[in-house]
Structure 1
Amino acid sequence: MRQLRMAVEKWLAPTSAASVRVTRLTGSASGRQGVRVEIDGPKGPISLHFFRHGDGAWQVFPPARASLTMGAYAAVIRARVAT
């Protein structure tokens, strides 16, 4: 959770007087995780959604979805020619 705290400090810059709250936890069957973090701003609450990426980092953008891919390769077969 240390990385989440660092991301919150980077994006929301809370002061010692502002309280930081995690207002929503999200998760899915595919393993995507996220939290909504809220602080009290001068004109009302400010919130951002942070997404956890595969490397453990928390970012404000969601991780890219893994898409199905199909690949093909050609095998080169060399025939030995008897001389």
Structure 2
Amino acid sequence: MKRTNEQQSLRCQVEKWLSPGPTVLVRVIEFSRTQLGRRRYVCVETVQPAGLRALFFFRHDDGCWRVFPPAVDKPTMTPARHAA
């Protein structure tokens, strides 16, 4: 099954990973950019009977939010770049 950007939205990912109920408060407690790559991230928390739960979500180049950070672009050496 191919995932759409809607399925990878921040709201969808929060519902998937934190499973907040209709009466559970969901709060964004931190948002910024990573030092490497300047990628957006958000930390979301919920307070449920089982306790406090928080997760970081990272925005990828395709616009989707995921619980793992995107790969950092690393410089590469190519033969054409160094050919004399």
In the alignment, structure 1 segments of 5+ residues that lack a partner are: 74-83
Paired amino acid for 1:7: Q
Q: Secondary structure at the match of 1:51?
A: strand
Give the CA RMSD over aligned residues.
1.6
Q: 1:28 to 1:49 in 2, by over 3 A?
A: closer
Offset at 1:42?
1.4
Moved over 6 A (4+): none
CA distance in 1, matches of 2:23, 2:34: 34
Name the structure where helix makes up a greater proportion of residues: 2
What does residue 6 of structure 1 align with? 12
Offset at 1:28?
4.3
In the alignment, structure 2 segments of 5+ residues that lack a partner are: 1-5
Superposed, 1:6-25 pairs within 5 Å as 6-25=12-31
What does residue 62 of structure 1 align with? 69
Q: 2:34 touches 2:41 (CA, 8 Å); kept in 1?
A: no
Greater relative CO (CA pairs within 8 A, separation 6+): 2
Offset at 1:44?
2.0
Q: Equivalent of 2:43, from 27, 36, 44?
A: 36
Using the aligned pairs only, state the percent identity: 44
Give the alignment's TM-score, normalised by structure 2.
0.77
